[in-house]
Structure 1
Amino acid sequence: MPAPQEAFEQPAGARCDFAVRVQPVVDEVRKLVLAEYPDGSPRRELYTGRLVDEVTNLDTGAVTRVDASGTSLVEYAPDGSMTWYVTGPVLLGFRENAGSLPRGIWIVDGVYVVEFDPTYVHKTITLVHGSTHNVCTDVD
């Protein structure tokens, strides 16, 4: 089934030094539910498909496009935490002091795991092989 990404905006200082908008320009991501808990909530899902996001500096109008077409196996734990097992590029936002990368909007590419705490605020990335790039620097 389709799994559309919603556009979103962040104020200056939240992810980049300036206000930013992220919106999909190509969104062909699909989701497959692999397992559910007895109450019907998802336990394991697979996300795959082409996703290209446009990142815009709302102060200057500078724009860049990023390929975020990675494939993710997502596991949801009973405590509300979530773990992604990823191959390929994914776009992730980090707040100040809220994860294993500094504040920013990051394209993470390669083979890696992303662990989210139950609030989804704190993220930890474990790279098996890959790279990270802060997209804020591309539109600064």
Structure 2
Amino acid sequence: MSASDLRTMRAFAATAGIELPDVEAEDAARRWEPFRQEAFVDEAGKISTFDMRVDPVEDDERTRVLATHPDGKPMMQEFDGKLVIRFTNGSNGKSVLRNVTSYAMVYTTADGVRYTYYRGRAGVGVRIGNPTTPSGWYIMDGTFFVRATPAKQRDFLVQDGSMEDLCETLA
């Protein structure tokens, strides 16, 4: 965790009206653990009009917990490392490889709302019927701050970079 990333996360969180727990350089000394993205399929009608298959091709990610809730669940967590994914349209077979290597810092409230600061490239799915952002499988490149609710609603609170909708790319 760089001081710059922590300052950015704190600034973004403040705009959303949340106060982050105190985490400092000593928290960054906590041990990184391997993290692996599992392959999955988003069924037609959830995010896109077709099944979207998501298959990791290269995965060298890691994570560490910086703060926990009283029940032991992560409150603040970091993710970092290389991730390359093949996205495939299950209807027509078209596929693309996307490098979604990035840094992410995640703050999770006690009621399960996740605020994620992304720096680099990342993939985020937005469900059909989302009230604030059109549905799609977005590949983001830049700096983003995203809120995700337990009901699967996603809101892009800060967007500083480009976004590709793979539902359009693979249609």
Same fold (TM over 0.5): yes
Note if 1:123 corresponds to 2:165.
no
CA distance in 2, matches of 1:91, 1:139: 15
User: Is there any run of 5+ residues in structure 2 with no aligned partner, and where?
Assistant: 1-32
Counterpart contact for 1:35–1:44, Cα < 8 Å: yes
List structure 1 segments (4+ residues) > 4 angstroms apart after TM superposition: none
Change (3 A) 1:128 1:58: closer
Deviations 1:3-31 (A, max 9, x none): 11111112223222222201111111100
Note if 1:29 corresponds to 2:34.
no
Counterpart contact for 1:111–1:128, Cα < 8 Å: yes
User: Is there any run of 5+ residues in structure 1 with no aligned partner, and where?
Assistant: none
Is 47-56 or 13-22 further displaced after alignment?
13-22
Q: TM-score by structure 2 length? A: 0.76
CA distance in 2, matches of 1:19, 1:100: 23
| Aligned residue runs from structure 1 range 11-90, under 5 A | 11-90=43-122
Identity %: 31
Deviation at 1:137, TM superposition (A): 2.0
Deviations 1:68-126 (A, max 9, x none): 11111001111211110111111111111225431111111211101112x15101112
Q: Which one scores higher on RCO, CA 8 angstroms, separation ≥ 6?
A: 1
What is aligned with 2:124?
Answer: 92
Greater fraction of residues in strand: 1
| Aligned residue runs from structure 1 range 100-119, under 5 A | 100-117=132-149, 119=150
Aligned CA RMSD, in angstroms, stands at 1.4
Q: TM-score by structure 1 length? A: 0.91
Q: Which has the larger radius of gyration?
A: 2
Deviations 1:29-57 (A, max 9, x none): 10011111232211111000001110011
Greater fraction of residues in helix: 2
Counterpart contact for 1:83–1:115, Cα < 8 Å: yes
Three-state SS of the structure 2 residue aligned to 1:28 is: strand
Counterpart contact for 2:87–2:96, Cα < 8 Å: yes
Counterpart contact for 2:48–2:128, Cα < 8 Å: no
Counterpart contact for 2:87–2:97, Cα < 8 Å: yes
Three-state SS of the structure 1 residue aligned to 2:161 is: strand
What is aligned with 1:133?
Answer: 164
